[in-house]
Amino acid sequence: SQQGEEDPQALSIQEGENATMNCSYKTSINNLQWYRQNSGRGLVHLILIRSNEREKHSGRLRVTLDTSKKSSSLLITASRAADTASYFCAASGNTPLVFGKGTRLSVIA
Amino acid sequence: NAGVTQTPKFRVLKTGQSMTLLCAQDMNHEYMYWYRQDPGMGLRLIHYSVGEGTTAKGEVPDGYNVSRLKKQNFLLGLESAAPSQTSVYFCASSPPGPANQPQHFGDGTRLSIL
């Protein structure tokens, strides 16, 4: 399974701080995707990083990928209360996406 | 542009009853998926479809059936509901590609089996 596993399970920070979430996976991938889920809503795609990329930015999001360590990280800079959500990684290989259990981020105003 | 729409949003069933969850997408996506989300378990793939008339099993297919008679619709059926099927069910769709493309999700159906 290419399952992504996020770490930590939960993270609480103050508004304005940076939040870093990590993801590990087991087998070779062609891309890795990050999603956000607000309470009571469906997942929303945030960013996709291909296996030949090492870093990607989108607004306040920065994603890194280390295929040698089979790991990825999502950094949210200058966090806001609206960033409070669960964040999931999903590793993409030769099977449909398999999602991890997520990191619950709480941003305290 | 509605995206992915799931019907119903909430439902309570008794053990042994049957029901069908409907998913509709208006993005002309080839691929569609059904997941269940349980506390502490993340999302688990039940069934998926790579095109009209096709279906395939995911990680947890037992107790569920699906049909994709039209490209825009993907139905999930529970023939004889069990309490273990109490969950939040999410439908998603994506375009095809050489690799998994980003998925678009509905807002879920919250199903309780008593």
Mean pLDDT computed over A14-34: 94
CB contact under 8 A, B42 and A33: no
- Checking if the pLDDT of A3 tops 90, the result is no
Give the pair of three-digit tokens for residue A17.
């701080």
The DSSP secondary structure of A2-48, one letter per residue, reads ---EEE-SEEEEETTS-EEEEEE-SS--SEEEEEEE-TTS-EEEEEE
| Contact call for residues B28 and B71 (beta carbons, < 8 A) | yes
| Contact call for residues B42 and A99 (beta carbons, < 8 A) | yes
CA distances from A38 to A87, B65, B109 (A): 9, 28, 15
- Checking if the pLDDT of A5 tops 60, the result is yes
Residue B1: the pLDDT is: 62
- Checking if the pLDDT of A1 tops 70, the result is no
Residue B39: the pLDDT is: 86
Residue A100: the pLDDT is: 87
Interface test with B, best of A34, A43, A95 (most B CBs within 10 A): A43
Q: How many CB atoms lie within 10 A of CB B83?
A: 11
CA A79 to chain centroid, in Å, comes to 15
Cα nearest neighbour of B10 on chain A: A40
- Strand partners of residue A45: A35
- Give residue-wise pLDDT tens across range B19-51: 999 999 999 999 999 999 998 778 999 999 999
Alpha-carbon gap, residue B61 to A75, rounded angstroms: 35
CB contact under 8 A, A96 and B90: no
Alpha-carbon gap, residue A47 to A32, rounded angstroms: 9
Chain B, 43 to 62: residues with Cβ < 8 Å from chain A are 43, 45, 48, 58-59
- Give residue-wise pLDDT tens across range A32-70: 999 999 999 999 999 999 999 999 999 999 999 999 999
Residues 6+ apart with CB under 8 A from A94: none
- Give residue-wise pLDDT tens across range B60-99: 999 999 999 999 999 999 999 999 999 999 999 999 887 8
Mean pLDDT computed over A76-101: 93
Which chain B residues contact residue A99 at CB under 8 A? 35, 42-43
| Contact call for residues A96 and A32 (beta carbons, < 8 A) | no
- Checking if the pLDDT of A4 tops 80, the result is no
Which chain A residues contact residue B103 at CB under 8 A? 43, 45, 97
Please give the helix or strand (H or E) that residue B35 lies within, else none.
Answer: strand B31-38
CA distances from A44 to A48, B30, B92 (A): 12, 19, 10
